[in-house]
Amino acid sequence: MKFDLKLAARFLIAGKTQTGLIFIGIAVGVAVLVFLTFLISGLGVDIIDRTIGNSPHITISREDRPLDFAVRDFQGRPVITEDASRTTRETIDEWQFIINGLIGDERISAVVAVADGPGFIIRGDLEEAIVIRGMDLDGADGIYDISFRVVKGSPDLIAGTILIGTDLSEKIKAGIGDAVQIRLMGEDPESYLVGGIFDLGVQTLNQRWVLMNRERAAYLLGFENGVNVIEAQVLEVFQSQYIAAEWKRILPFFKISSWEEANRQLLIGLRSQVSSSYTIQFFVLLAVTLAVSSVLAISAIQRARQIGILKAIGIRTKRIGRIFLLQGAVLGFTGSLFGSILGVALLYFFVSVSRTADGDPIVPVTVTVTGLAVIVLITTAAGTLAAYFPARHSAKLDPIEVIRNG
């Protein structure tokens, strides 16, 4: 094997123009491959992060659709219409138990119990339909990053204070320390102080969400210290539907849904992006394979004399094949190694020139060693495969032909 490798290397070095050209060809192809692969996966990660980075991946509730309500305009005032199933606000009495179970699942990264229900916020003669969200700050931070997203005031959810979104704050003209009233449909209003204003980056949430202490919200919503929704985030976002399905088996009487079910369109978009990336990878690899194959086919003819003499002096047939396979592998390996470096350099260049006004990269590209290793491995395999026919051709060569014809 060592000698075979030496022969392969010598043959490659001896045909330096050809070897050089094919090496550059592979390197350029792989550089494009690396660039596109990481760019596209960066884009995918970015889209996923923007879409579900700060929202629950798995939602557990008793109701059919906990957040399914509609805000309608009724004689100039907003009215929330509830569907029949919501009128019986079923709570999850064993929520503590479920939460402990979820925390014990190492695939799950964050869990929060929420007392969630519709209501109205009133300030002066301004009234807006809202969604009351009662949760612990710790849990809320795990998924929504509330502390980080409070732009004014304090994120502390002490009883009697609430956090409202930036858009709602503008609509009802309420700032930090201002008193507001909250009431449920057909009930008397209660007073609260605005303790903080958040910006969750999503307009509907900034307009509708009112965050408060969980116990307080439960009391307000008549849950008797219970919650009606449990939300969780998972480490591997694309695993959430499987994890949800597993938990459904443990908790058959609950409605357990994953973000994937709610975001079919986004998923289709992401998948088609990934498959377009695969298509590009496939064609780049095909081009590399064909190039290596044709160069080695020429090399096999040029080295016929050497092959013949090696066979005459006793090299076994299959080793001749191996020498050509090794040439393909060496070309694929070195070319893709160099191409990877080139591709990564290209990525860094791209990331450094394309930045937002804040100086952040437009696309957050993360180059992984594993990703590069996979590309190098696949290209090496493609190079080896490409050498198959030249290798077979050479191995079959009859030394006597060579010896007779000089």
| Residue ranges that bind other proteins, judged by CB under 8 A | 1-3, 6, 10-11, 13-14, 305-306, 308-317, 399-400, 403-404, 406
Torsions phi, psi for 264 (to 5 deg): -55, -45
Q: How far is the CB of 309 from other proteins (least distance, A)?
A: 4
**Nearer CB in complex with other proteins: 10/50:** 10
Q: Is the Cβ–Cβ distance between 60 and 247 less than 8 Å?
A: yes
Q: How far is CA 223 from CA 70, 114, 179, 402, in A?
A: 22, 11, 24, 93
Nearer to other proteins, 107 or 319 (CB): 319
By beta-carbon proximity to other proteins, the closer residue of 56 and 308 is 308
DSSP characters over 4-62: HHHHHHHHHHHTHHHHHHHHHHHHHHHHHHHHHHHHHHHHHHHHHHHHHTTS-SEEEES
- In whole angstroms, the minimum distance from the beta carbon of 388 to other proteins comes to 20
Q: Dihedrals φ, ψ of 88, to 5°?
A: -95, 100
Nearest-10 crossing angle of helices 304-312, 317-353: 140
The DSSP bridge partners found for residue 210 are 132, 164
Extract the tokens encoding 32: 């494009």
Q: Which is nearer to other proteins, 51 or 306 (CB)?
A: 306
The least distance separating other proteins from the CB of residue 3, rounded to whole angstroms, comes to: 4
In the complex with other proteins, the residue whose CB is nearer, 271 or 316, is 316
Q: Measure the CA–CA gap between 49 and 36, rounded to whole angstroms.
A: 19
Q: What tokens does 236 get? A: 């591997």
The CB-of-338 to other proteins minimum distance in angstroms stands at: 23
Residue number with CB closer to other proteins (240 or 299): 299
Residue 150 or 296: which CB sits closer to other proteins?
296
What residues have CB less than 8 Å from 297, skipping those under 6 apart? 389, 390, 393
Q: How far is the CB of 19 from other proteins (least distance, A)?
A: 12
Residue with smaller CB distance to other proteins, 152 or 392:
392
- Please report how close the Cβ of residue 307 comes to other proteins at its closest, in angstroms: 10
State which amino acid sits at residue 212: M
In the bound complex, what is the minimum distance in angstroms from residue 401's beta carbon to other proteins?
11
- Exposed/middle/buried for 394, CB within 10 Å: 0-12, 13-18, 19+? buried
Residue with tokens 């050497």: 306
Tokens 């002490």 locate to 158
Q: Report the nearest approach of other proteins to the CB of residue 51 (Å).
A: 57
Task: Give the closest residue to 236 by CA, choosing from 52, 65, 403, 74.
Answer: 52
Q: Are strands 69-74 and 190-198 parallel, antiparallel or unpaired?
A: unpaired
